[in-house]
Amino acid sequence: MSPRPLVVHVTGARPNFPKAAPVIEALREHEVEQLLVHTGQHYDDRMSQVFFTELGLPRPDVDLGIGSGTHATQTAAAMIGLEEVLTQRRPALVVVYGDVNSTVAATLVASKLHLPVAHVEAGLRSFDRSMPEEINRMVTDRISDVLLATCADAVDNLLAEGVDPAAVHLVGNPMIDTLLRHRTRLDQGRARSEAGLGDDDPYVLATLHRPGNVDDREHARSAVATLHRVAEHCPVVLPLHPRSRPRLIDVGLLEHPQVRAVDPLGYLDFLSLVEGSSVVVTDSGGVQEETTVLGVPCLTLRPNTERPVTISHGTNALTTHADLPDAVATRLRAGRPAPGSTPVPPLWDGRSGPRIARVLAGTLGVA
């Protein structure tokens, strides 16, 4: 009997884990072996290890522990570690997720070793090359062999770039599989209590970590001043990403009594706060998707988004620092939309993992 083909999954940062979990689970129904590699790009337990416990992911078979650093440092360290793993194991397929540095590192290494690559979340584009993630997305898609798209506009982007249509598969969003599977475990009451909020207190949940908002001191100062103005309407709860914490605190984040900074949260705790919030303010891609499905008004503090489907089929809107306080006030007055009243993108139905698994099994020629 021929040995079962080996599929290597590469994860590296918090956004990867909810995407990978449904794919790994669904592939167990097919005749493949699986190996999970964690590069350790996010190394804080609350940014990575807690996800393995909460989402039922297997513990990584390999943890490269590359840690923090510049984009070049992280990417280079991941490439060195991944080259050793992939050379030794020679998998039949490498599966990468999202747009972090580990994603492009794994794709480059696998391609140079002549190993096929499947990219989950292919085709997303902000059309803003000042974003490091946009470069990662473009490079990864250009040299991947199987492109698994979450939405129709991602498919359109890939076809416009000349990708072979046979390589592109519209499969939906596996991160939403994870959200829907665990939604009944969310505990708004406990999340409110731990953030120092009353049972009925309206609040804004904010996340900020993009370089355009926090790396430059003046940009960070502007973001903080904007959050202080938002806090005049209601409390602002802000889980602080390790890379943005010192910058935002240094420019006065905590000087407003209604701003409540908390440590990074696990998956369930964070989504509990999202679900209970009146408005979410973010510069994160994944949060735009989660609020779309949860029906929570979302204001994205960026000039563009690689997820425009969350605007056309969701609750998301782009905003600026200057416009944010008024936009929050408008949504607070309007209240949360009625459940089920906002559209959700097609195929964001909790069954993307099995669809992806079928595509991958077909690629490998196994049942």
Say if residues 115 and 28 touch (Cβ distance below 8 Å): no
What amino acid positions are annotated as catalytic residues? 209
User: How many Å apart are CA 258 and CA 232, to the nearest integer?
Assistant: 7
Residues 85, 25 within the same domain: yes
Residue of 106 and 40 predicted with greater confidence: 106
CATH code for the domain in which residue 235 is found: 3.40.50.2000
Residues 190, 290 within the same domain: yes
User: How many Å apart are CA 347 and CA 366, to the nearest integer?
Assistant: 24
CA-based nearest residue to 103, from 172, 185, 14: 14
Residues 227, 126 within the same domain: no
Residues 218, 138 within the same domain: no
Residues 139, 203 within the same domain: no
CA-based nearest residue to 37, from 65, 10, 77: 10
Say if residues 5 and 36 touch (Cβ distance below 8 Å): no
pTM: predicted TM-score of the whole model, two decimal places: 0.95
Provide the pLDDT for residue 305: 97
Reported as a pLDDT band with limits 50, 70 and 90, residue 212 is: confident
In a domain, 230, yes or no: yes
In a domain, 341, yes or no: no
User: How many Å apart are CA 110 and CA 93, to the nearest integer?
Assistant: 9
Give me the mean pLDDT over the 320-345 stretch.
Answer: 94
CA-based nearest residue to 304, from 119, 137, 143, 106: 137
In a domain, 114, yes or no: yes
Q: What percent of the chain has pLDDT over 90?
A: 81
In a domain, 340, yes or no: no
CB proximity list for 18: less than 8 A, separation 6 or greater: 51, 55, 174, 175, 178, 179, 267, 286
Reported as a pLDDT band with limits 50, 70 and 90, residue 14 is: confident
For residue 136, pLDDT beyond 50: yes
Say if residues 256 and 233 touch (Cβ distance below 8 Å): no
Residues 89, 60 within the same domain: yes
CA-based nearest residue to 144, from 128, 122, 160: 122
Reported as a pLDDT band with limits 50, 70 and 90, residue 49 is: low
**210-219, 249-258, 318-327: segment of lowest average pLDDT:** 210-219
For residue 55, pLDDT beyond 90: no
Would you state the structure tokens that stand for residue 30, as one six-digit string? 């097919």
For residue 233, pLDDT beyond 90: yes
In a domain, 266, yes or no: yes
For residue 362, pLDDT beyond 70: yes
**65-69, 174-178, 248-252, 339-343: segment of lowest average pLDDT:** 65-69
Residues 138, 212 within the same domain: no
Provide the pLDDT for residue 139: 98
Domain range for 215: 183-334
Provide the pLDDT for residue 2: 59
User: Mean of the per-residue pLDDT values for the chain?
Assistant: 93
Say if residues 18 and 178 touch (Cβ distance below 8 Å): yes
> In Å, what is the CA distance from 146 to each residue of 11, 39, 163, 364?
17, 22, 10, 11
Provide the pLDDT for residue 48: 56
The percent helix, strand, coil of the chain (3-state, each to 5) is 45, 15, 40
Residues 114, 31 within the same domain: yes
User: How many Å apart are CA 82 and CA 106, to the nearest integer?
Assistant: 6
Provide the pLDDT for residue 41: 67
pLDDT tens, position by position, 267-303: 999 999 999 999 999 999 999 999 999 999 999 999 9
Residues 27, 168 within the same domain: yes
In a domain, 324, yes or no: yes
In the chain, how many domains are there? 2
User: How many Å apart are CA 115 and CA 5, to the nearest integer?
Assistant: 12
User: How many Å apart are CA 57 and CA 288, to the nearest integer?
Assistant: 23
In a domain, 38, yes or no: yes
Residues 330, 358 within the same domain: no
User: How many Å apart are CA 195 and CA 302, to the nearest integer?
Assistant: 26
3-class SS of residue 261: strand
Residues 250, 312 within the same domain: yes
In a domain, 178, yes or no: no
Provide the pLDDT for residue 45: 47
Residues 355, 316 within the same domain: no
Provide the pLDDT for residue 13: 85
